[in-house]
Amino acid sequence: MTEETDKNVCLPVELSAESRFRRFWAKLRRNKAAVAGAILLLIYILCALLAPVIFRGNPAAPNLIMALEPPSLKDLLGTDELGRSILGRVLYGARISMLIAIGVVAVGLFIGVPLGLVSGYFGGKADFLIQRVTDTMLAFPGFLLALALVSVLGVGINNTVISIGISMIPLYIRLVRGCVLTVREEVYVEAARAAGTRDAVILFRHILPNVMVPITVQTSLSMGTAILFAAGLGFLGIGVQPPTPEWGAMLGSARGYLFNAPHVATFPGIAIFLAVLSFNLLGDGLRDALDPRFKI
């Protein structure tokens, strides 16, 4: 305790990046919902990574003799209409949905963030053009846009990622543009311009790090949405195709057995629910913890 006090006396203006991180961490830890979200997410990631360790066997290989078995010790979550273990398919499905979530936000980030930066910083004609395209894209509900794109591009995991990714781009453009409009008026941006710094350097070195907080939060929330959209497309049969174990597609094929074998639809449904919930809880928690105005 005394050592701590001494340290503070020696360094009176101590509020380093490290201690800011500690503050953020303390705030996040105090938020029970966010902690629950983080734990769920951790379990989800572990399931995705360790799927082959937890479940030995091929989740896509049919075994018709075992079709529609209820949960038992042999098959903890039962089997589906083709006799495949639902546990295995849910675990491997976590990998697919994780891949889709990462791919989707990558598309959104790599295209949406630069466009938002340019739009907000330069203004003028570029801004007008980007914003009108964004308006047009936002006029469609996100899922409808993804659905339309998939019907043009065709089914499959890559096209699912691309089409959901594209439907996320306008959200990033709007978010980043709004933040840049505030940050570009800061004196340090003007000072950088007065020092002869190039626009590209100002954008990526001076402005981008100052808008990372909302981007981080949006990324967490979009991952949840991406999983939901992918499941929706899978359910409709135009997303990831069987026999790939995808949660939405599992739900879709299980809907015929809702009454005689409800477990087939229940477990992938729970998986989707928990995965989306984990991202949303964590995203909300991150927003609260990263926002300096929000004090707990």
Partner 1 sequence: MTGCSKPLLHIENLCTRFDTLDGVVTAVDGIDLEVYPGETLGLVGESGCGKSVTALSILRLLRCPPAAIEGRILFDGRDLLQMDAEAVRSVRGSEISMIFQEPMTSLNPVITIGEQVAEGVRLHKRLTRTESWQRAAEMLQKVQIPSPENRMSQYPHKFSGGMRQRAMIAIALACGPKLILADEPTTALDVTIQAQIMSLMLRLKDELQTAIVLITHDLGIVAEAASRVIVMYAGKIMEEAPVRELFKDPRHPYTRGLLGSVPVIGRSKRPSRRLQEIPGMVPSPLRMPSGCRFNPRCSQAMPVCCTEPPPMIRLGEHRRVSCWLEAESSGTKGSRGQGFK
Give least dist CB 216 to partner 1, A. Answer: 14
Give least dist CB 204 to partner 1, A. Answer: 12
Nearer to partner 1, 65 or 194 (CB): 194
Give least dist CB 134 to partner 1, A. Answer: 22
Nearer to partner 1, 56 or 293 (CB): 293
Q: Are 159 and 153 in contact (CB under 8 A)?
A: yes
Q: What sign for the dihedral angle of Cα 120, 124, 127, 132?
A: positive
Nearer to partner 1, 73 or 194 (CB): 194
Give least dist CB 14 to partner 1, A. Answer: 7
Q: Are 162 and 153 in contact (CB under 8 A)?
A: yes
Give least dist CB 152 to partner 1, A. Answer: 40
Nearer to partner 1, 135 or 190 (CB): 190
C-alpha–C-alpha distance, residues 216 and 283, integer Å: 8
Nearer to partner 1, 86 or 192 (CB): 192
Tokens of 103: 């791919």
Which residue matches tokens 């992918």? 230
What residue ranges bind partner 1 (CB under 8 A)? 13-17, 123, 186-188, 190-198, 201, 205-206, 209-210
C-alpha–C-alpha distance, residues 18 and 35, integer Å: 21
Alpha-carbon separation of residue 127 from 60, 104, 166, 211 (angstroms): 48, 24, 19, 18
